[in-house]
């Protein structure tokens, strides 16, 4: 996530009950979420989905219902998806352990907005949508919200992000952050051991659950130093944390990538959404297997498709 200075996202309607009670302060915007800290709860952050706001508003316009409402079908769909995401979060914790993941809960609720916020989150919408004109007067809009344990390690300026940027198929793949960590691990055995543990669990997670980790975002997976519980109070050890590692898609991306690749081999057409899933699956697999190779590990994520 990219930290941003005070701007539109901090300009929430002051008369709103949630704003008055919790006094949210904007921290950053990720691919989907606006992230806030709240008064008197320093141990958590609040993540509001911009995608949900846009999808619900667009659905309301399509069905000719008030913008601040939500159709029964849309509510049922989102509630199902939130339950699925909660299950994915539990699976992540089961594979990587509580010490490497963050506790979180998801809710469907109305959030405070302004016309300026809605205008901004619609900028560059991949579907080419614009905010409905009447929405610019709204003070609340439906969205999904994550209440997540705060990752204090991100505040440590010495932490390392394990991520790539872009997709190789688009000619934009950048693995600079990964190469930097690998280079440091060559002279730091403790970091190398921590990397190996992460890669081993990531391979098992993908092969067993059919999902990937969202490693295409900065600080979604981080490595950091923490005090070692030993007699030497000055000793530190490397640890890692999955801050925002679940992909935004509800489908199991790794499994779907195999099915989509099979369709291609059978000369079937695929949709733009399927192309996106396939690129994400391929680039995760390429990255995690490349890490395993560089670290001298035998484990591999298998994206092989038999015709």
- Give me the pLDDT at residue 233, please: 54
In this structure, are 145 and 160 located in the same domain?
Answer: no
In this structure, are 168 and 273 located in the same domain?
Answer: yes
Task: Among 125, 150, 175, identify where a domain stops.
Answer: 150
In this structure, are 133 and 37 located in the same domain?
Answer: yes
Other beta carbons within 10 Å of 289: 19
216 in a structural domain: yes
- Give me the pLDDT at residue 232, please: 56
Give me the domain span that covers residue 173. 153-294
79 in a structural domain: yes
pLDDT by 10-residue block (mean), the chain, 307 residues = 64 91 91 92 96 96 95 96 95 96 97 95 91 93 97 93 92 93 96 98 96 94 85 76 94 93 92 94 95 96 74
In this structure, are 131 and 13 located in the same domain?
Answer: yes
Task: Among 150, 184, 199, identify where a domain stops.
Answer: 150
**Cα separations in angstroms, 160 against 103, 107, 180:** 21, 31, 9
Question: Which among 16, 90, 15 is positioned nearest to 48, based on CA atoms?
Answer: 16
276 in a structural domain: yes
In this structure, are 196 and 241 located in the same domain?
Answer: yes
- Give me the pLDDT at residue 235, please: 72
* Residue 128 contacts residue 240 (beta carbons within 8 Å): no
pTM, two decimals, is 0.89
Other beta carbons within 10 Å of 40: 7
SS3 241: strand
In this structure, are 228 and 276 located in the same domain?
Answer: yes
Q: Which residues contact 61 (CB under 8 A, 6 or more apart)?
A: 67, 132
In this structure, are 137 and 193 located in the same domain?
Answer: no
In this structure, are 166 and 86 located in the same domain?
Answer: no
299 in a structural domain: no
Percent of the chain as helix, strand, coil, to the nearest 5: 45, 20, 35
305 in a structural domain: no
Please give the Cα distance from 187 to 95 (Å, whole number): 28
In this structure, are 258 and 162 located in the same domain?
Answer: yes
In this structure, are 188 and 79 located in the same domain?
Answer: no
What is the domain count for the chain?
2
168 in a structural domain: yes
Q: Which residues contact 135 (CB under 8 A, 6 or more apart)?
A: 57, 67, 115, 118, 141
Task: Among 123, 150, 177, identify where a domain stops.
Answer: 150
In this structure, are 215 and 142 located in the same domain?
Answer: no
Other beta carbons within 10 Å of 23: 14
In this structure, are 61 and 184 located in the same domain?
Answer: no
* Residue 4 contacts residue 24 (beta carbons within 8 Å): no
- Give me the pLDDT at residue 217, please: 87
300 in a structural domain: no
Q: What is the torsion angle, in degrees rounded to the nearest 10, for the CA atoms of residue 44, residue 87, residue 262 and residue 203?
A: 70
307 in a structural domain: no
Other beta carbons within 10 Å of 208: 12
């Amino acid at each position: 996530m990219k930290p941003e200075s005070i701007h539109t996202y901090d300009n929430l309607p002051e008369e709103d009950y949630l704003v008055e009670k919790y006094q949210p302060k904007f921290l950053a915007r990720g691919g989907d979420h606006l992230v806030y800290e709240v008064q008197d709860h320093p141990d958590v952050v609040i993540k509001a989905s911009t995608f949900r706001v846009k999808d619900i508003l667009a659905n309301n316009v399509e069905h000719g219902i008030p913008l601040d409402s939500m159709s029964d079908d849309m509510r049922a769909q989102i509630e199902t998806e939130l339950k699925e995401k909660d299950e994915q979060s539990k699976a992540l914790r089961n594979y990587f352990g509580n010490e490497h993941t963050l506790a979180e809960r998801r809710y469907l609720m109305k959030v405070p907005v302004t016309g300026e916020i809605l205008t901004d989150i619609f900028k560059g919408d991949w579907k080419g949508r614009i905010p409905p004109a009447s929405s610019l007067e709204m003070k609340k809009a439906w969205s999904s919200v994550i209440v997540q344990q705060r990752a204090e390690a991100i505040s440590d300026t010495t932490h390392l992000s394990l991520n790539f940027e872009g997709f190789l198929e688009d000619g934009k793949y950048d693995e600079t952050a990964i190469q930097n960590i690998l280079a440091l691990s060559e002279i730091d055995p403790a970091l190398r051991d921590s990397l190996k543990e992460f890669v081993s669990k990531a391979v098992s997670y993908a092969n067993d659950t059919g999902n990937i980790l969202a490693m295409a975002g900065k600080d979604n997976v981080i490595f950091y130093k923490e005090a070692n519980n030993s007699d030497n109070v000055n000793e530190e050890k490397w640890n890692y944390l999955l801050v925002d590692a679940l992909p935004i898609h509800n489908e199991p991306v790794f499994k779907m990538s195999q099915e989509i690749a099979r369709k291609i081999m059978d000369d079937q057409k695929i949709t733009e959404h399927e192309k996106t899933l396939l690129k994400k699956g391929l680039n995760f697999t390429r990255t995690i297997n490349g890490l395993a190779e560089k670290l001298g590990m035998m484990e591999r994520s298998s994206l092989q498709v038999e015709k």
